[in-house]
Each structure stands twice: as structure tokens, then as C-alpha cells.
Amino acid sequence: MSKIATDQLSREAIVYIRQSTQTQVLHNHESRRRQYGLADRARNLGWSEPIVIDDDLGRSGHSYTRFEHSSKEITLLHYQHG
């Protein structure tokens, strides 16, 4: 029996991939592989197609533009499906 309810699976699964600097992007392959692996984990748990946000890779903290936008989308989805 799954601990994940059907109503939970009807919601979006979102994986945010984050490495702050170009150096991290170039050298921390294992960390990035594991972060992308979270999307595979979500699929294995029953989500059909998780949303992967990786637009901010290699950008410092002051430029999380995609994350900020996605956070607002997530908040709206939460209140719509409340």
C-alpha cells in the first residue's frame, strides 16, 4: 500500500535543481545527478511527469528569477486546490 494518496498524485510534482556557481555546475556532477534523480523518484512514486526547474543553474542567489516565478505559481496552485 502506498503512503501517497490519489489526491496527492493529482497535484504537480516539482523538482528544483540548484547549484549557485558555474564552478559547482562544472565540478559537482554527483550532486546534480542526485538532484535530477529526484524527478525519477517522483515518477517511481506515481507522478506521471514531474516538472523540473533547472533554469537557475550557475546563477548566484540574487538572480533566482525562475524560482521566484515558480514559487508564485506553486502558491497559486496550492490555494486553488487547497
The verdict on whether 20 is a catalytic residue reads yes
On whether the CB atoms of residues 77 and 38 are closer than 8 A, the answer is no
SS3 assignment for 12-59: CCEEECCCCCHHHHHHCHHHHHHHHHHHHHHHHHCCCCCEEECCCCCC
Q: What is the pLDDT of residues 20-61, one digit of tens each?
A: 788 887 888 888 899 899 999 999 999 999 988 887 777 766
Q: Provide the whole-model pTM.
A: 0.66
Q: Which of 2, 10, 20, 70 is catalytic?
A: 20
Q: Is the pLDDT of residue 76 over 90?
A: no
Task: Say how many Å lie between the first and final Cα of the chain, rounded.
Answer: 25
Q: Higher confidence at residue 49 or residue 71?
A: 49
For residue 52, give the nearest of 69, 65, 73, 35 by alpha carbon: 35
